[in-house]
Amino acid sequence: MLLHDSDLHNITIQPSDFFCLPPWDIPQFSYLSPFSGFDKSSTAPVTFQQLFHHHRYQYSSFIPIFTDGLKSDGHVGCGVVSPSDTLSYRLHNFCSVFTAELVVIFCALREISPSNQRKFIIYTDSMSALQTLSHYDIQMHPVALKILSILHLLRKEGFSIIFCWVPSHVGISGNEIADSIAKFASTFLTQDIPYSDVKKSFVSHLHTTWQNNWDLQMNNKLHFVKPFIDMWRWTSN
């Protein structure tokens, strides 16, 4: 019953593949951050927009690809925006927002692959995704390993791909569109779910089920003393 209610019977867990490139072939990953030094809470959106326009002038020869992943009210979606197309996908509800941000970067690279163009710049508002990709580890997120793998192949084919961080919700058009289409994504992407996401979702479901059952024990004396099932809070004398 618990297995059925948690929807664990309907998923495929993504294995943590060993990244089998030799050390000298591991792609060097770095990213631009033209907005560093500007605190979002104290900087007007128009300032970020001006900084972005200046940045685009410097990298005008690179085709911009905007990506965004989100998780809200049980909906996990991702969106890719390029000058010629938009793509949006929905992921399994178990997926974390971090997984969504990585998946959408992988999708962007996959869309780039058949292109006749060779210079692209991928924008994301997920600093955590960029930082993860910057520090290779065989234990890293399985989707991050897939990103580094396809990036290695694309660069061998002559692609020049830059990554850049952009702040969210400051009026940068491509980022806003990617966010919007991710919110309403309805086409499910066939994507295995990382073990870490499955574990977190199942533990959360188990905790909620336990708490709901405990809430029914109104005549239990312990329930009066401890209505919530979190850890006891010890106080030192």
How many residues in the chain? 237
* Local structure of residue 25 (DSSP, 8 states): G
- The type of residue at 139 is Q
* Local structure of residue 188 (DSSP, 8 states): B
User: In the prediction, which pLDDT does 16 show?
Assistant: 63
13 backbone dihedrals φ, ψ, rounded to 5°: -80, 135
Q: What are the residue boundaries of the structural domains of the chain, listed by start?
A: 31-192, 194-232
User: In the prediction, which pLDDT does 158 show?
Assistant: 95
Reply yes or no on domain 31-192 having CATH 3.30.420.10.
Answer: yes
User: In the prediction, which pLDDT does 81 show?
Assistant: 97
3-state DSSP percent of the chain in helix, strand and coil, to 5:
45, 15, 40
User: In the prediction, which pLDDT does 221 show?
Assistant: 78
Q: Pick the closest to residue 92 from 171, 179, 198 (CA basis).
A: 198
C-beta separation of 195 from 14 below 8 A: yes
User: In the prediction, which pLDDT does 94 show?
Assistant: 85
How do the pLDDT tens digits run along the chain, 237 residues long? 555 555 555 666 666 665 556 777 777 889 999 998 899 989 999 999 999 999 999 999 999 999 999 998 889 999 999 999 999 999 988 889 999 999 999 999 999 999 999 999 999 999 999 999 998 877 788 899 899 989 999 999 999 999 999 999 999 999 999 999 999 998 888 777 766 666 766 677 667 777 788 788 888 877 777 877 777 776 665
